Structure 1
Amino acid sequence: MEKKNESVFPATFPGAPVIYLNTYSNEGQKVYEAAQAVGCPPFSLVAVSDLDWNRDMAPWDSPAAFKNGEPFTGGADDYLRLLVEEIIPRAEKELVGPPAWRGIAGYSLAGLFALYTIYQTDVFSRVGCMSGSLWFPGFKEYVFSHEPKRRPDCIYFSLGDKEAKTRNPVLKTVQEKTEEIQTFYQNKGIDTVFQLNPGNHFAQGIERTAAGIQWLLNR
Structure 2
Amino acid sequence: MNSFTIDEKKVTIYQANTADVPVIYLNTVMEEGNDKIYEILKQQECPEVTLITISGLDWNHDMTPWDAPPISKNAEPCTGGADEYLNFMTKTIVPEAERRITGKISWRGLAGYSLAGLFAVYALYQTDLFSRAASISGSLWFPGIIDYVFSHEMAKEPECIYFSVGSKESRTRNPYMKTVRKNTEQIERFYREKGIQTVFQLNPGNHFQNAAERTSAGIGWLLTQQKQESRQKY
* Pairwise TM-score range, normalised by the shorter structure: over 0.9
**How far off is 1:2 after superposition?**
4.4
Cα shift readout 1:46-72 (whole Å, capped 9, x = no counterpart): 000000000000000000112111000
Residues matched between the structures, number? 219
1:47 partner letter: T
Correspondence for 1:83: 89
Aligned match of 1:150 in 125, 147, 156? 156
Q: CA RMSD in A?
A: 1.0
- Is 1:13 the counterpart of 2:13? The answer is no
Aligned match of 1:204 in 181, 202, 210? 210
Which one has a larger percent strand, Structure 1 or Structure 2?
A: 2
**How far off is 1:12 after superposition?**
2.1
- Is 1:127 the counterpart of 2:143? The answer is no
Q: Distance in 2 between matches of 1:98 and 1:112?
A: 28
The answer to whether the Cα contact below 8 Å between 1:92 and 1:98 also exists between their aligned partners in 2 is no
Where do 5+ consecutive residues of structure 1 fail to align? none
After superposing on structure 2, the runs of 4+ consecutive aligned residues of structure 1 that deviate more than 2 Å are none
Q: Output aligned runs, 1:2-81, within 5 Å.
A: 2-26=7-31, 27-81=33-87
Q: Give percent identity, aligned residues only.
A: 55
User: TM-score normalised to the size of structure 2?
Assistant: 0.92
Q: Distance in 1 between matches of 2:27 and 2:50?
A: 14
User: TM-score normalised to the size of structure 1?
Assistant: 0.98
Q: Distance in 2 between matches of 1:61 and 1:141?
A: 15
Cα shift readout 1:115-143 (whole Å, capped 9, x = no counterpart): 11010001000000000000000000000
Q: Output aligned runs, 1:118-197, within 5 Å.
A: 118-197=124-203
Q: Distance in 1 between matches of 2:22 and 2:121?
A: 18
Q: Distance in 2 between matches of 1:145 and 1:109?
A: 21
